[in-house]
Amino acid sequence: MMRADKSLPYEHHESVRDMQDAIIEVVRRQLIDDIRQSGVFSVMCDESTDVSTEKTFIFYVRTPRADAKFLEVTELNGDECTATNLCATIIRVLEMRNLSVDNIACITTDGASVMTGVRGGVTTLMKERNGLMLSVHCIAHRLALASGQAANSNKYLQQYQAMINTVYKYYHYSPKHQAKMNKIQQVYEMAERKFKQTFPTRWLSFEGAVEAIIENYAALVACMEMDVAECGDPVASGILRFISDYRFLYSTHAMMDVITELGILSRNFQRRDLTVSEQSSQLSAAICALKAMRTSPGPSLS
């Protein structure tokens, strides 16, 4: 049994940091041992920018015997975000942990040209070091790109998405408007469900946003009518005019059916134990379900 030495200030922030560093080192050693015992491993990496606008490079590894686990995060300078420097960073991190590039079976990235460029992308440069390495563009990320860009050619759907965010901001930035919405929801005996914003980088945000519109539609129309009648709010007038159109109601329920299928597919693609054969069958099932909606409406629209 361990005993605390009263002369040591274990509650001091430096002592806490030392303990955290010790725990990190133990966990990291166990992870490195598992990777070495597995013989081969896969690498998942991506660059990101934190709230202080500092660029970082994040590494995950996956072995045949374990789930994907966090390995390392390292800072990047602004001029280090080239494919050559990113490749060198990957090699440096692996060598620092005594891991060999020759044992990488697969590398997974997003679809940015700096990562997947056939002439000088990170994956291309890594394959020059290990010719047996496979490269994969994250399947969940590809689905997000495809579904997010599918409506770009439809002007109304672009306006539809903008209106969802307008409704969100109308209540999110006004406690007065939100309080009125809560009272209307109580009158309609509805749960106090708040509106949500859509984000192109959050894969399932559109599903929650559309669902909130459906659940709050009656209360939303009532609130907009009250705001227009009481103070002639121009924003409320624009929202009311848009959401009162039959196209909005039709599109909302049709989108709910489509997004539900895409949401199921996206969550399946993010499973830790997903296999290549499973992703192929799940994709085929989703395509069949979406094609069927051309002739027969889904549960929400029907």
Q: Which of 110, 137, 164 is the last residue of a domain?
A: 137
How do residues 157-167 score in pLDDT, each as one tens digit?
A: 999 999 999 99
Q: Is residue 168 part of a domain?
A: yes
Return the pLDDT at 2: 47
Half-sphere exposure of 264 (CA within 13 A, CB side): 13
* Residue entry with tokens 């994969």: 136
Q: Is residue 5 part of a domain?
A: no
How do residues 211-252 score in pLDDT, each as one tens digit?
A: 999 999 999 999 999 999 988 889 999 999 999 999 999 999
Q: What is the DSSP string of 59-103?
A: EEEE-TTS--EEEEEEEE-GGG-SHHHHHHHHHHHHHHTT--GGG
Same-domain check for residues 258 and 122: no
Please count the structural domains in the chain. Answer: 2
Indicate which CATH number applies to the domain containing 126. 3.30.2170.10
Return the pLDDT at 12: 64
Same-domain check for residues 153 and 64: no
Q: Is residue 24 part of a domain?
A: no
Annotate 160-186 with b (16+ C-beta within 10 A) or e (fewer): bbebbbbbbebbeeeeebbebbeebbe
How do residues 171-211 score in pLDDT, each as one tens digit?
A: 999 999 999 999 999 988 888 889 999 887 676 788 899 99
Structure tokens at 114: 């700096």
